[in-house]
Amino acid sequence: MSIAFLLTTLVVVVTPGTGVVYTLTAGLSHGRRAGVVAALGCTIGILPHLLATVTGLAALLHASTVAYQAVKYLGAGYLLYMAWATLRETGAPPVTERDAPEPAARVIASAVVLNLLNPKLTMFFVAFLPQFVPAGAGAGAMLRLGAVFMAMSFVVFAAYGIGAAAVRDRVVGRPAVMTGVRRVFAACFVLLGVRLAVA
């Protein structure tokens, strides 16, 4: 495993995207536990894309314009739904996580769906992983690289979620600030959805 792969992976993972925005939202709205669970969900959501790449399904998706467009628009629609759901929340969430923790299953499900409906992630694996697989190596090598990508994704996303939770106490006690933060996150979801739809 090369240093180039690790550095490239780190840059890709750290760059804000759908998963980062969702993890920040979860950490800020529901605390550290929700932020880490969201990071886990986003990481699990990578697995179907990795398996699709290894088995060749990604190539079929790429070749089928109709299938690719369908998944893309479903993903964009789900991002718009996430924007609406974020704006719909009212009031300040409880400061202590034990007061009303967000159900882990719901957080994970939302994170998995976000990544599952993002065909660009599969296309990324098709273009990215093969560059670092040694000539003649089998699917095992690609799976190992994918596992490293997932592990790094979890660590970085969890750090984002924990960081958001760390400033939570300063934000939740100020309704105007919390409303502004929700609007910013909703706008991010809308922008990501539009970018996915028009790409």
Give the chain's length.
199
Sort 185 into a burial class: Cβ within 10 Å, 0-12 / 13-18 / 19+: buried
pLDDT beneath 50, residues of the chain: 91-99
- Give the ranges where the chain is alpha helix by DSSP (H): 3-14, 18-30, 32-44, 47-55, 57-63, 65-88, 104-116, 119-128, 139-166, 168-172, 175-198
The amino acid occupying position 45 is: G
Q: What is the pLDDT of residue 36?
A: 92
CB neighbours (10 Å) of residue 138?
9
CA–CA distance, 73 with 50 (Å, rounded to integer): 21
Q: State pTM to two decimals.
A: 0.72
**What is the tens place of the pLDDT at every residue in 124-167?**
777 677 777 776 666 777 888 889 999 999 999 999 999 988 88
